[in-house]
Amino acid sequence: NAGVMQNPRHLVRRRGQEARLRCSPMKGHSHVYWYRQLPEEGLKFMVYLQKENIIDESGMPKERFSAEFPKEGPSILRIQQVVRGDSAAYFCASSPQAARTSAYNEQFFGPGTRLTVL
Amino acid sequence: GESVGLHLPTLSVQEGDNSIINCAYSNSASDYFIWYKQESGKGPQFIIDIRSNMDKRQGQRVTVLLNKTVKHLSLQIAATQPGDSAVYFCAETGGTSYGKLTFGQGTILTVHP
């Protein structure tokens, strides 16, 4: 059973370009979470999605960032008009059950996408 | 705001020693705590978890202790091995934020052969 897949693993963008990060959850998982990690810091929650629904986006910047998890295909984290401060590692995690019905659900993390903005 | 933090950013031990990594949390509504291990260039890996109705839980070579009175969490690793070298994070969830993990800063554990 493959784990959480993320691609690309490394992404370089110039200021003002768009970055698209992809996450394929583990088989059978319908809940996806995105986190951002700055160097030498812990992970910061960004957004929690189920298929075709955003459940909690309280950690997502209001501008330039968006996320989706369509009925078919991977979850996408999109960053428009990137700035140097967006340089970070972006991790996706997935879980098999609804977080609100089972708080004690392990989140399985992917290997991350390291975004560098020049 | 609410946060989860660690007392020590780095810890160096000799192979075979026991390691203790500490974590403080401030959200009194937290009811589920997890320790993750993150190796360089990889995503966090689940180590052990504990619910707030427990004060101790043991796994293979690892033990998590929870002190709700002082909002403190610790991870004990027995007979530490070089392969244990990594960054260790505590994380919590609970209250109205199920699904949203709040991570601490992290402790770098270095095990010397």
Measure the CA dihedral A22/A25/A27/A29, to 10°.
Answer: -140
A48/B100 touch (CB, cutoff 8 Å), yes or no: yes
* Chain A residues inside the 8 Å CB shell of B49: 104, 106
Percent of chain A whose pLDDT exceeds 90? 75
| Alpha carbons A58 and B16: distance in angstroms, whole number | 43
Q: How confident is the model at residue A109 (pLDDT cuts 50, 70, 90)?
A: very high
> For B93, which of A91, A103, A108 is closest by C-beta distance?
A103
Tell me the Ramachandran region of residue A86: left when phi exceeds 0, alpha when psi lies from -120 to 50, beta otherwise: alpha
pLDDT, tens only, A19-62: 999 999 998 888 999 999 987 788 999 999 998 899 999 999 99
Give average pLDDT by consecutive 10-residue segment, chain B, 113 residues. Answer: 54 95 88 92 92 93 95 96 95 75 90 93
Maximum Cα–Cα distance for chain A, whole Å?
A: 42
Using DSSP bridges, classify how beta strands B30-38 and B45-51 pair: parallel, antiparallel or unpaired.
antiparallel
Q: Which of A6, A43, A92, A106 is most worth mutating to test chain B (most B CB atoms within 10 A of its CB)?
A: A43
Question: Does the CB of B63 have a partner CB in chain A at under 8 Å?
Answer: no
The overall longest dimension of chain B from CA atoms, in Å, is 44
